[in-house]
Structure 1
Amino acid sequence: MAGIGELAEGPLHAALKQWLARPGDSFEVKVDRWVVDLVRADGELVEVQTGGFGPLGPKLDGLLDQHRMRIVHPVPAVRRIVRVDADGVILSERRSPKRAGVLEVFDRLVAFPSLIGHPHLVVEVLLCREDHVRAPTPTRSRSGRRTRDPGVRHLAEVVGRHELRRPEDALDLLGADLPTEPFTTAELATLLGVPAGLAQRVAYCLRLMELLEPAGRRGPAPLHQAVGG
């Protein structure tokens, strides 16, 4: 029988809980008024979050000051698109051209960047090989519009992991040193090799982690500079 909170969980979430589990850990444990994905034998609370971090806000508010917590977020570093028919028979397989990187965690960290550095919090990013299983063709909604099946994520392998315990750990994820001179988010995007929107979220998070500070403007574009740089 499925435990509390397990009925609606997807296969990626379930597989990661099993991958993370150690002897003596417990699944789906009620702590105060919340259900926690995994409770370590040493008392650490582990939450697997495959989507945005925003829904974790109330749980963090209620538990973080009294409990050590770890948020585990998977990023599909390599993904394979698998199309199946209604009976689950594989019709086609191909490797997706999209390659995510560890920086995608900043898309999620915008929910609470200032919490990085809390003595009870660790955010762990897992780089994964995933299979995205989808229906063979787009479906139609009630309005008649064609919609693409977003697919269901399945874990194939964990290929890397990174921990954020201190704000400075976020700098280690960048893969490049911040410029010594003031820079725009467009220049940051070029430096990191990421889309402009993600660079903006990186800058926002680093600013709230007190790693960046405003440095005036260059024309209409705000400038940032590394604190102490």
Structure 2
Amino acid sequence: MPVTLQESLELAQKESAGGIGTLGERTLHAALKYYLQPDPAFHEIKVGRWVADIQDSWGITEIQTRQFGRLQAKLEAFLALGPVTVVYPVAAQKRLCWMDPETGETSPWHRSPKKKGPADVLYELYAIRDLLGNPNLSIRILLLEMEEIRYLNGWSHDRKRGSTRMDRAPVSLLGEVTVGAKVGYEALLPAGLPEEFTSKEFAKGAALSLPSAQRGLLLLHQLGVVDRLGKQGRSYLYRAVEQPKTPREEIVE
């Protein structure tokens, strides 16, 4: 029976309090595991020499928040067996709280001005680009409202820049995008791009840093989603390749 994100968060917290092993997962990962598969009998399943986050009748599901490169060998083994979905959570909206690591004092919650979209996954996908054509592989991007607690331990005068994230938790699902097997990656292009655009324009539209945008465009070019037209000054000029019209995004009301 499906559960809400709030219910999945409560289940994850109960599991942690009960001392059940979570393989070093934090709140976001544990909560999403229950959201995607409420029955813990399907969690942490040994598959060959690896452990899958979830294995059920839909196949194998891996929840990965960063460092996709670490998944390479594991995914290769899983993809040989059947369908695999990699779930990537994105903080489309975020509420933030700061904690002093010395006193434990916390600040009031406030809404972060930073917002991310589906293109946030591109930087990570580049690390497993050789697997993206596998018909068994799907990438499911969850656009979430999140709450995040960070330590005030950074290097700037206000101790925020370079700070360490303590934890984060999902609050609500705002939408999702699923891409896979070189079909549908055009859904990762931000809306409102000009017909011809540079990496700087792509970075602005996708809310990415310039290095992340450049890496993402290199991947999209390899996947046939964008064409490289030449240069405008010192920057490459790109254009989206026309794709079949297929619905890829479901917005949750």
Deviations 1:57-106 (A, max 9, x none): 11012221222100001001111112346797754211112112221111
Q: In the alignment, is the contact (CA less than 8 A) between 2:61 and 2:85 conserved in 1?
A: yes
Aligned equivalent of 2:174, options 147, 152, 159:
159
| Equivalences, count | 219
Equivalent residue of 1:138, what SS? coil
- State the alpha-carbon separation in 2 of the partners of residues 43 and 226 from structure 1: 33
Partner of 1:111, secondary structure, is helix
The 8 Å contact of residues 190 and 205 in structure 2, kept in 1 or not, is answered as: no
For residues 147 and 185 of structure 1, the distance between their equivalents in structure 2, rounded to whole angstroms, comes to 25
Please state which structure has a larger fraction of its residues in helix: 2
**Residues 97 and 224 (structure 1), Cα distance of their counterparts in 2 relative to 1, 3 Å cut:** closer
Aligned counterparts of 1:121 and 1:44: Cα–Cα separation in 2: 10
CA distance in 2, matches of 1:48, 1:26: 14
Match of 1:186 among 189, 194, 200: 200
Cα distance in structure 2, aligned partners of 1:92 and 1:177: 35
Does the 8 A contact of 2:147 with 2:170 survive in 1? yes
* C-alpha RMSD of matched pairs (Å): 3.0
Q: Which runs of 5+ in 2 are unaligned?
A: 1-18, 156-160, 244-253
Q: How far apart are 1:30 and its partner, in Å? A: 0.7
Q: Which residue of 1 aligns with 2:108?
A: 92
- SS of 2:134's partner is coil
Q: Does 1:2 align with 2:16?
A: no
- Identity within the alignment, %: 32
The alpha-carbon deviation at position 26 of structure 1 amounts to: 0.5
Q: Partners in 2 of 1:24 and 1:151 — Cα distance? A: 25
Matches of 1:151 and 1:95, distance apart in 2:
17
**8 A contact 1:21–1:38 mirrored in 2:** yes
Deviation >6 Å, runs of 4+ = 85-89
Please tell me whether residue 176 in structure 1 is matched to residue 194 in structure 2.
no
Query: CA separation in 2, counterparts of 1:156 and 1:203?
Result: 31
Q: Alignment partner for residue 79 of structure 2, among 44, 64, 67? A: 64
The 1:178–1:90 alpha-carbon spacing in structure 2 relative to 1, beyond 3 Å, is closer
In structure 1, list runs of 5 or more residues that go unmatched: 141-145
**What is the deviation of 1:7?**
3.6
Question: TM-score when scaled to structure 2?
Answer: 0.74
* One-letter amino acid of the counterpart of residue 118, structure 2: V
Contact 2:115 2:207 in 1 (8 A): no
Mapped to 2, the partners of 1:114 and 1:161 lie a distance apart of: 24
Contact 1:203–1:212 under 8 Å retained in 2:
yes
Query: How many Å separate the matches in 1 of 2:65 and 2:223?
Result: 23
2-structure distance, mates of 1:228, 1:78: 30
User: Which of 40, 52, 67 is the equivalent residue of 1:36?
Assistant: 52
Instruction: Report deviation, 1:199.
Output: 2.5
Q: CA deviation at 1:20?
A: 0.6
